[in-house]
Amino acid sequence: MAWTLLPRGSRPLEPGSAPSVSIQEGLSGLQAMKLRRVLLVLLLVGGFWYVTTHLPSSLDSQSLSHFSLFGVRGSSSPLELTEAQAAPVYDAEEQNNIAVYKRVLPSVVNITSTTLVFNFFYGTVPQQGQGSGFILDHAGHVLTNYHVVEGANRGIKVMLSNKHNYDAKVVGTDKVHDLALLQIDAPSLQPVTLADSADLSVGQKVYAIGNPFGLSGTMTRGIISSIRSIRGSEGAPIEDAIQTDAAINPGNSGGPLLNSRGEVIGINTMIASNGADQSSGIGFAIPINTAKAVLADLTRYGRVKRPSLGIVSYAIGPDLASQMGLAVDSGVLIQKVVPGGAAERAGLRGGNQQAYVGNTPIMLGGDLIVAIDGQEVSDPDSINALMDKHQAGDTISVTLYRGHKQMTIKLILGEARGTST
């Protein structure tokens, strides 16, 4: 049986019969479906192209991060920064802090000392120490601590705030007061201004500028916590030492302690750290007046000609004075006069009878000093404090008791030798 394909629409469908589809019609439907897919792809591509090329120029990358093709914003809110509209205005205290720092920083130096030491494994090796100091005059004199340059047998370098380095020579040292005077040859130096440390008050504001842990140009601030007598690293007394809570750390040694006007009132020298080797809020500075008393000798002689009475002495309190039958309750008993010293030349007398206070031998029978230049003295440290205000060759008045007789004797101070006062 032969089948004959009828042209489309050649005859109507009979009731109940299924429609017939020609091959041509099937192909046309398939092509239409493909065409719709192509149109959809073109629509998506065209939409993406439009979005990326025709958005307003004001829609930046920050806005795009919150934009989607479906108009949904991101879950996080946009970053909004608030910026200052003008430079900061410093209050009066901040302005003074800044002014002091700018004024004094060019006068503060970093000191590096090099010492050859013996190492068991490597033999002789160089070892460096660091500290601070400050410029005293245009001639290049620099004041620092003795322990900063002690043993520096391979040179001392001084670095200014402008980072220029200079070799330094030692003009003189005073181990007792832990002071050293150096000198450098450098142009355009800016000296500090020295204040009077005699009238300091607990509570007044102070600044410390130095190089703690090698961090050059560091300023810390605090107050004077106390003014007290302490003993330095060598055991010698430091009279009227300035105690401060301004942070002082290794590397600050030799740097200036300043008042609120930027004037030097002390030389930072040691800290009470309980073995931690860092600031615990208790630092000490040598009063600048003590340094003034020795600077003239250091520049003139290269050493300090410390004045001395030329005596070996012992402090007497009320209990001992009562037991010994002395005329007054306290004073400084002369144990011995140094041969050729100031006391012997003035006719002062030492003891002639040995006794013991506990296990300590003392000599009785000598003169009992109670005042110098009208100022009461009660122990050898108080005499040392008065000596710091004089020089060898000065004449002083010594008030003493010889037995029960009070006397005042003029005495020309000699130069300190050994352990005598």
pLDDT for the residue numbered 86: 81
Kindly report, residue by residue over 130-163, the tens digit of the pLDDT: 899 999 999 999 999 999 999 888 889 999 999 9
Find the distance separating the first CA and the last CA of the chain, reported in whole Å. 150
**pLDDT cut 70: percent of the chain above it:** 80
Kindly report, residue by residue over 189-241, the tens digit of the pLDDT: 999 999 999 889 999 999 999 999 989 999 999 999 999 888 776 667 787 89
Is 280 labeled as catalytic in the residue annotation?
Answer: no
Half-sphere exposure at residue 401, Cβ-oriented, CA atoms within 13 angstroms: 17
pLDDT for the residue numbered 54: 66
Give the Cα separation of 186 and 133 in Å (integer): 15
pTM of the model: 0.67
pLDDT for the residue numbered 141: 96
Catalytic residue among 225, 253, 279, 382: 253
- The confidence band for 304, taking pLDDT boundaries of 50, 70 and 90, is confident
pLDDT for the residue numbered 238: 81
pLDDT for the residue numbered 111: 95
pLDDT for the residue numbered 255: 95
Burial class from Cβ neighbours inside 10 Å (0-12, 13-18, 19+) for residue 13 reads exposed
Is 178 labeled as catalytic in the residue annotation?
Answer: yes
Burial class from Cβ neighbours inside 10 Å (0-12, 13-18, 19+) for residue 146 reads buried
3-state secondary structure the chain: CCCCCCCCCCCCCCCCCCCCCCHHHHHHHHHHHHHHHHHHHHHHHHHHHHHHHHCCCCCCHHHHCCCCCCCCCCCCCCCCCCCCCCCCCCCHHHHHHHHHHHHHHHHEEEEEEEEEEEECCCEEEEEEEEEEEEECCCCCEEEECHHHHCCCCCCEEEECCCCCEEEEEEEEEECCCCEEEEECCCCCCCCCCECCHHHCCCCCEEEEEECHHHCCCEEEEEEEEEEEEEECCCCCEEEEEEEECCCCCCCCCCCEEECCCCCEEEEEEEECCCCCCCCCCCEEEEEHHHHHHHHHHHHHHCECCCEECCEEEEEECHHHHHHHCCCCCCEEEEEEECCCCHHHHHCCCCCCEEEEECCEEEEECCCEEEEECCEECCCHHHHHHHHCCCCCCCEEEEEEEECCEEEEEEEECEECCCCCC
Kindly report, residue by residue over 354-390, the tens digit of the pLDDT: 988 888 888 999 999 999 999 999 888 788 878 877 8
Residue 165: what are its φ and ψ, rounded to 5°?
Answer: -105, 145
Catalytic residue among 147, 216, 240, 308: 147
Q: Report in angstroms the alpha-carbon separations of 363 from 50, 126, 203, 421.
A: 111, 49, 44, 16
Residue 278 has pLDDT above 80, yes or no: no
Sign of CA dihedral 30, 36, 42, 48: negative
Q: Do residues 268 and 287 lie in contact, with contact meaning Cβ atoms separated by under 8 Å? A: no
**What average pLDDT is seen over the chain?**
83
Is 388 labeled as catalytic in the residue annotation?
Answer: no
- The confidence band for 300, taking pLDDT boundaries of 50, 70 and 90, is confident
Residue 67 has pLDDT above 70, yes or no: no
